[in-house]
Amino acid sequence: MLRESNSSNPGVNLNLSHMTPKSVPMPIYMDHNATTPVDPRVSQAMAPFLAEQFGNASSSSHAFGWQAQAAVKKAREQVAALLSCRAADVIWTSGATESNNLALLGVVRAFCSPAVRGGEKPHIITQVTEHKAVLEVLDAALEWGAEVTVLGVDQEGLISLAELEKAFRPSTVMVSIMMANNEIGAVQPVAEIGEMCNKRGVIFHTDAAQSACKYAFNLQSLKIDMLSLSGHKVYAPKGVGALIVRKINREFTLKPILFGGEQEQRLRPGTLNVPGIVGFGEACAVAALDIKEECKRLHAYQKQILDAVAAFPRVKINGPLKNRLCNNLSFSFPDLPPDDLVLGLSGVAYSSGSACNSSNPRPSHVLKAMGLDDQLARSTLRLGLGRFTTDEEVSVVIDKLVKMLGKAYGAKGTATVQPL
């Protein structure tokens, strides 16, 4: 149920049992990089396909199947319209993890055949701060016969284009660099990477799970060959995603890694998740309505929080101040025990890094790659703003942060960074 708010955007009432002095429902959700709530407009579009319109999209001999087929076609067009690609480029999956697996291992399957490359091992380039859904897939690619180069990053989490240039080999068949990092919000120079790949005839794949619907990008102007998406990052349900496969820049073979059906151009067999696909399509259509204004609003919230925290010079801001997702903030706190962070931000739903690694006691591989020691990496706060974040919620979070940091570090000092 949506609650009323003085802000122009409603918030999601997750629990009304505890209230702050400002009567903001608790907990305050600040973890949109982990997952997003389903937008009411999305759930409304899905509802008929969870009940009376239950047909299988592969059934072509009756009206129930035709309804499902039409819904899937519309959703495909909605995703394509947001990204400025062709509807035929959209391959449905269960999420970005499966999309990454299909993109990477599908290329490895195609190029590892001795008949294709005369026994030469295909070479793939990636970066150290990729999501585990890329890094662990490439571990498997090594077992399948590929060679992999993993680029380092600078202190802001960005790759060096010069280092990428040096990493290309005659045997390089693919580069996989995420568009934006899920932990620190760093946006990589994908346009430049795409150009570098395009002039060499190398396939460029990017994991865009975090960046989709957070800022506008046009695939017609980017030399991206494959792009992974996840529904639950864009206010659609969990369990649905897409791999965009574009063969505009070059023809290439992508082989399936699952078998047993002819769905999705034989690249992803199995009965389609029609309700989820409908939801994903509607989420893209909703985002397209005001994506620039929404990013501007979230950027303003981001700046308010950064301004407040930057007044404490000991706090480390992780990731770039420019070239950053509009909804992401990551801070590390020297000499602040993790328990103090938990207490200081009680009533706020946040994370310390990737939700996929939250049960792993080891420090974040992203933060370690940027040079943080174990203590700093463990005393890290990630805030993810979202569509239903309100003015009041941001004010409460800032108040909690300032009180916690004032207690830990004393009086405010002079800001040591330039605000966003």
- Determine if the peptide bond prior to 27 is cis (ω within 30°): yes
Strands 172-176 and 2-3: unpaired
> Buried b vs exposed e over 192-208: b needs ≥16 C-beta within 10 Å?
ebbebbbeeebbbbbbb
Tokens of 25: 């429902």
Q: Which amino acid is at 95?
A: G
CB 242 within 8 A of CB 93: yes
At 118, give phi and psi (nearest 5°). Answer: 65, 30
> Buried b vs exposed e over 106-142: b needs ≥16 C-beta within 10 Å?
bbbbbbbeeeeeeeebbbbbbbbbbbebbbebbeebe
Could you give the CA distance from residue 360 to residue 333 in angstroms, rounded to a whole number? 20
- Catalytic residue, candidates 85, 112, 197, 356: 356
- H or E segment at 403? helix 391-409
Q: Answer yes or no: 326 catalytic.
A: no
- H or E segment at 244? strand 241-245
- H or E segment at 227? strand 226-230
Opening angle at CA 153, ends 151 and 155, nearest 5 = 165
CB 91 within 8 A of CB 245: yes
Q: Centre a 10 Å sphere on the Cβ of residue 397 and count the other Cβ atoms it contains.
A: 25
User: Which residue carries 């480029």 as its tokens?
Assistant: 89
Q: What is the CA radius of gyration of the chain?
A: 22
| Cβ-based neighbours of 56, under 8 Å, separated by 6 or more | 64, 65, 68, 271, 272, 274
Catalytic residues: 356
